[in-house]
Structure formats: structure tokens, C-alpha cells
Amino acid sequence: DAGVTQSPTHLIKTRGQQVTLRCSPKSGHDTVSWYQQALGQGPQFIFQYYEEEERQRGNFPDRFSGHQFPNYSSELNVNALLLGDSALYLCASTLGPGGRFYEQYFGPGTRLTVT
């Protein structure tokens, strides 16, 4: 049973650039959430996608955007990168309508470094 997968594992970008991170949900799951985990902090909810639409959003600027594909995989896009965007980005998947967070499965994350 394939778990949540994320790519790439590590990424280094320069301030002002744009980045795209990818996530494939656990087999059978249809809802994807994205989190930002800064060093030494707990994960912070960015947004959640279900049925190819953004269903929930945390307190993140519009520079953070996403997409969900018909196969339920998802992308996180961050524009105009800032040094403060350096973090571990986690993807989590669930089964069911948006909001059923209690069955979340997390991927290993993508480590983004902005220089």
C-alpha cells in the first residue's frame, strides 16, 4: 500500500524565484493538505484540496497557491520566494470530504532552502 509521497526531497532556490512542490496521496485518499514546518516549530496549515478545489486555507499570503489533479495528486506553488519561506513542507492526505483531519497520513516532506 503506497503511502504519501513527495518530490523533490530537497530544493534550493534564490529569493524572488518560484517553486513547485509535488505530492501524491496515500492510495485510496482523495483529499490533500499542505503544511509549512519552520525549523524548531510545529507544522502550520497552508491549505487543503478536495475535488480539485481549495476547501480550507490557513493564514498564508496569496503567494502560496495550489492545485489538485483528477488523480488526487497535488502541487504547492510559492511565488516571489522570501528567506522566511525556508522550511520543511509537508503534505498530508485523508479520505473523505474536506475537514476530516483525524485520518491524516503525512509524507516525508520537501526541505526548501531559500538563499
SS3 readout for 10-30: EEEECCCCCEEEEEECCCCCC
Residues 51-110 binding another protein (CB under 8 A) are 56, 58, 90, 92, 98-102, 104-109
Using CB under 8 A, which of the segments 14-22, 37-45, 65-73, 75-83 binds another protein?
37-45
Strand order in the sheet with 5-7: 5-7, 19-24, 74-78, 64-68
Task: Say how many C-beta atoms besides its own lie within 10 A of residue 48's C-beta.
Answer: 24
Instruction: Give the nearest distance from C-beta 110 to another protein in angstroms.
Output: 10
Which one, 4 or 32, has the nearer CB to another protein?
4
Q: Which residues bind another protein (CB under 8 A)?
A: 4, 33, 35, 40-45, 56, 58, 90, 92, 98-102, 104-109
